[in-house]
Structure 1
Amino acid sequence: MSVHSNITNPIITGKKSPLTTLHSNFKVLLIYPTMYRVTGLPVGMASLSAALKDKGFDVRIFDTAFYKEKEQDRYTAQEDERAETMTKPIEDKEDIWKDRPNDMLTDLKILMNEFKPSLVGVSILENTKKMALKMTTMVKENFPDVHVVAGGIFPTLTPELFLKEPSISYVCVGEGEISFPDLCEKLREKKDPTNTRGFWMRDENGKIHKNPPAMLPDINKIPFPDFAAFDKSLLLKPMQGKIYKTLVIEASRGCVHKCTYCENSLLGDFYSNAGAGRYYRRMDMKKIIEQIYHQVDKHDCNYIHFSSEYFLALSKADFDMFIEEYSKIKIPFYFQTRFETVKGDRMQKLKEVGMHWLGVSLEHGNEDFRKKHLKRGYTNASVANSIKILKEEGIGATVSNMMGFPYENRELVFDTINLCKDLYRIHNGIQFNIFMFTPYRSCSLYQTCVDQGLLPKDAADDIDYGYAFDENTILKFPEEYKKMLAGLYRTFNLYVKLPDEDLPKIQIAEKDDEEGRAMLKELRKKISWEEDPNPTPPTV
């Protein structure tokens, strides 16, 4: 699909960088580890690829989305079960999503031999660490002259952890659009890289060099993310039971809030303390519109996801510009926002220009708990009012929740269930996600868990962080409490959506025994999926 605008982009001209010939002999392979069939274009790595190409470096990307590694089998089974009550079944997914015929390491080794990279970079999260190190170890063993850079939120906040890994030579601390090309230039020129800002590293003598993070880039002045380097299968993202060719448009980076379960709670302080700039940056609306046209002209898509922690925190002038310009595009779109930004007049206008769905995070149903322990201050009344607005405007949304926090108990979990039940009664076009709280080291609640003895103090790097949809908490709660949490996780949407007369049966379904599993299977058949309040866009 091609669209055109009167707005032009002064940065993207379509011409090759004059440095292309100069640097083309220095090749960078970027590895994007993601769990099985977790699709979606990663803006961070795409932006890094664009920054490297802008400086003339040759870039390839290897992703893991369609490799079903053996260790992921239990997570795949759990996600299939989860999908029966939390998300609409995905239509024709086996015909659209095609798994790779080889295993992950075989294909990576083939690419290494064919591309012959000068440097390998890998983005790492807590729950992809084992997979990532599996690949970096293979690179080290088979291509010992090729150095590996570890980057991402996890290495940024724990660089010392990754420098212990024999397969990793450099750790990128902070965002890499400025520092990564700088490192590549020094390595290409065979210059000493040990003082490169934005990197921790070991030198040839084993000495550790710790440099401060590079200044955070102005997202209005860097090249738009480079999605051309990614496998086209990553565009195939599910939304409300259908798979769309989804482009991601970056609208902002970072967050001004301090939610304790989120990495933003530490990253803002990290950059501020290092003198690296303000973590939260918003792209100018004119630049957002330029980016849409740039990406849509390059890629065939029928859906857009706006990447922003709260997309609707816009001035009236910016909002009006978006509505005016997007009315010429009208590709269905989705975004994440906060309940405080859901206003009736804006929802109506957004729907008119193509908004199909939105995501909002409730996280917990108890106001006091939410404010004290999660640092989220809105009221349940304001949440209900936002849902009423969505009902009035005929707009669907996914409401995300968590359970398994420290300081929580069964009664508090039911505060979340009961609030979601009330919201569902207001608007049955709302869907509800539930996630087990995971204390990633990049969130401030991690230290709370350590202090309470819910995590080991000295072996945090050995924690199996599992998978985003794992029903089992990794916290060291009593075994009976952990079983209770798993039961509530499996039955969360049954409690939310089924009538009160089914409560005794749902309580049976909480149990992980023969009777409980049979009842769970029976009750899941009673979950009905309402038609999208908005017209369903055409799919792949």
Structure 2
Amino acid sequence: MGNILLIQPPIQDFYLTAKRTIPYGLASIASALEKTGFSVQILDAMACSRSQSIALPKEMAYLKEYYGKEDRSSFALFHQYKHYGYSFEDIARETKATSAFLVGISSLFTAYSDQALQTARIVRQSLPKAHIVMGGHHPTALPEKVMEEKAIDFCIRGEGEISLPLLATALQNQSSLDSIPGLVFRKPDGSLHISEPCVVKDLDSLSLPSLHLIQSDFYYRGKNASAVVVASRGCPLQCSYCSLGAHSCLSYRRRSLSHVIREIEIALAHHPVLFLDFEDENISFDRTFFLALLKEIQKRFPGRLELRAMNGLYPPTLDEEIVYEMKQAGFKELNLSLVTLSPEQLKKFRRANVKESFEKIVKYALKIGLSAVGYIIVSSPGQDPHSSLHDLLYLAKNNVLAGVSVYYPAPDSLDYQICKEKKLLPAQESLLRGSALPISDSTSRLQSITFLRLSRVANFMKALKDKGIEIPQPEICSSSKIRSQDRLESSKELLSYFFQDYRIRGVTSQGEIYIHKADTELCKEFAQKILTK
């Protein structure tokens, strides 16, 4: 059988969470292709530590006033826009060295679709005779948009483990493509054949991901290797903002316990200790399964796993028994999804109020030595900025790290359709990310950036308390130069100025103090309330 190349493209953004770029989906598809008899390579353009500062795209020019100078304090956000991963010249050189007849390109996030499309153009130049197919969430949601790019021959919508082997076989046999699930292609008259997304009903029918194709030496967290496992797909919740929620075609499905454990065994085969992230949308939804998984991990891999569920945990699915077993299995931190406490906003989001379960879980987690992060969403259309400030203060007073997610309309979500109808979608797809502050509606961009900076203030205050350091008293800022070059001391100094005049400041590497753009009213309310019992 022929050679197939699967590519994870580079990305361009203000920041990168490297441990979340493991090409797990490509490894799963590669396994299905290998099972069919094809030889497969994965070109992971993210498996390198290279990054290059580049100019802001023109459509993001408005962000300069919010992400201006460098800041070495604890209140820093983003400063430079960067290209992360291989250069396109690197990709051209690597692809040209292959003999692939079919090249699959991953495009998971619409915000990074420009880099995926540029990768397709590079592949077309390097391998002019190869077939190019793009898969992932972006082409699933917006296939017509993707097929505007002439370098792309096909899209696969939905899950690719069934569709891509069928496509590869059909291309080699020169047989009909019409019945391949999830496939999008151009018909002879130029119109598009668009199939419904492919959904794998029985996840245990899939062979385990081809982990040997992942450059695991790059994906380390400290001294330990990192890996990803997905025990279930889809989500039973109906949240309006999520592409897997109220508007999704992908139903909730779960693998068997033995299938998941076997994958963990393979991941641990060459590593004494492993940082393992469950990338499920709702790993704890099935309580019986999750509890059995945690206990089996303790039995089979004692002390060998540090576990995380970085997509977030839904508090009502947790209880003291579950949280205890999570710690015993290797969890050190709980990523808890609060979203908001506002009844009006919860109704819009189609989301239950989880305050009671959130507080119970946080209290017990802290009692047994687990840390917790609480995540809220701010800046959605119609969302009251003062209710968002209330959410942030609530997190700060519950002794958890505050995770603030700036809203963006995710393609294929119910909210995306609503924003489209209300003409609230940003002009460019590259702006569909929180760091671009894409929606300026009832919450302004100035207020959005203020929430991000105030979360840094809240988390710095928590760090001081955890270390037994007193919160500094208000102090008038009377100098343009910082007193200490130590990051902790300089941040304490800036915090004292904040409590005096409600201005969030930063400091350059030369020690110059300056004022960040922020909403004064929100800062004042935060400063006055954060210290009250």
Aligned 8 A contact 2:392 2:455 in 1: yes
Q: Distance in 2 between matches of 1:68 and 1:234?
A: 15
Q: How does 1:207-246 map to 2 (within 5 A)?
A: 207-237=191-221, 242=222, 244-246=224-226
Alignment match, 1:446? 416
In the alignment, the residues of structure 2 paired with residue 56 and residue 329 of structure 1 have an alpha-carbon distance, to the nearest angstrom, of 33
TM superposition shift of 1:63: 2.4
Cα separation, partners in 2 of 1:310 and 1:204, compared to 1, 3 Å = same
Q: 1:363 pairs with 325, 328, 339, which one?
A: 339
Look up the match of 1:258. 238
Shift of 1:139: 1.9
Q: CA deviation at 1:169?
A: 1.0
The aligned counterpart of 2:266 is 294
TM superposition shift of 1:505: 4.5
**1:38 paired residue number:** 17
Cα deviation code 1:454-481 (max 9, x no counterpart)? 226xx5xx3332655x1x4112448x93
Supply the AA of the counterpart residue of 2:163: S
State the Cα deviation string for residues 309-330 of structure 1 (Å, max 9, x = none).
2222344476246414423302
Q: Output the CA distance in 1 between the equivalents of 2:280 and 2:217.
A: 23
| Contact 2:225–2:271 (CA under 8 A) maintained in structure 1 | no
Q: In the TM superposition, what whole-angstrom CA distance separates every residue of 1:133-157 from its partner, at most 9, and x where no partner exists?
A: 1111122234332221111112112
TM-score (norm 1): 0.76
Q: CA deviation at 1:236?
A: 2.2
Cα distance in 2 between the residues matched to 1:72 and 1:224? 41
Residue matched to 1:345: 321
- In the superposition, the TM-score normalised over structure 2's length comes to 0.77
Equivalent position of 1:416 in the other structure = 391
Structure 1 residue 80, shift from structure 2 partner: 8.8
1:54-93 aligned within 5 A:
54-65=35-46, 66=48, 67-71=50-54, 84-85=74-75
SS in structure 2 of the partner of residue 362 of structure 1: strand
Q: Does 1:384 align with 2:363?
A: no
1-structure distance, mates of 2:30, 2:341? 41
Does the Cα contact within 8 Å between 1:304 and 1:334 map onto a contact in 2? Answer: yes
Alpha-carbon offset, residue 170 of structure 1? 0.4
Write the distance in 2 (CA, Å) between the matches of 1:69 and 1:315.
44
Give the paired residue count.
Answer: 460
How far the C-alpha of 1:199 sits from its partner, in A, is: 0.4
Q: Is the 8 A contact 2:401 2:459 kept in 1?
A: no
Cα distance, 1:511–1:300 mapped onto 2, change above 3 Å: closer
Letter in 2 for 1:192: S
**Per the alignment, in what secondary structure is the counterpart of residue 446 of structure 1?**
helix
Among candidates 120, 128, 131, match of residue 136 of structure 1? 120
Are the counterparts in 1 of residues 96 and 126 from structure 2 also a CA contact under 8 Å? no
Following the alignment from structure 2 to structure 1, what is the Cα–Cα distance between the partners of residues 432 and 192?
31
Inter-CA distance 216–316: structure 2 relative to 1 (3 Å threshold): closer
- Correspondence 1:332 to 2:311: no
Unmatched 5+ residue regions in structure 2?
Answer: 58-62, 78-83, 462-470, 475-495, 524-533
Residues 138-157 of structure 1: pairs in structure 2 closer than 5 A: 138-157=122-141
Q: Equivalents in 1 of 2:499, 2:335: separation in Å?
A: 31
Indicate which of 464, 467, 487 corresponds to 2:450.
Answer: 487
Q: Which of 452, 468, 473 is the aligned partner of 2:437?
A: 473
Of 337, 349, 372, 1:397 maps to: 372
CA RMSD of aligned residues (A): 3.5
Q: CA deviation at 1:28?
A: 3.0
- Secondary structure at the residue paired with 1:232? coil
Shift of residue 223, structure 1, vs aligned partner: 0.9
Note if 1:26 corresponds to 2:3.
Answer: yes
Q: What amino acid is aligned across from residue 417 of structure 2 in structure 1? A: Q
**For 1:186-229, what per-residue CA distance to the aligned partner results, in whole angstroms no more than 9, with x for missing partners?**
11112232442220101455342223333424111211122221
Gaps of 5+ in 1: 1-22, 88-98, 272-278, 425-429, 524-540
- 1:301: how far off? 4.7
Contact 2:294-2:325 within 8 A present in 1 as well: no
- Of all paired residues, the percent bearing the same amino acid is 20
CA, structure 1 residues 29+116, in 2 after alignment: closer, same or farther (shift >3 Å)? Answer: farther
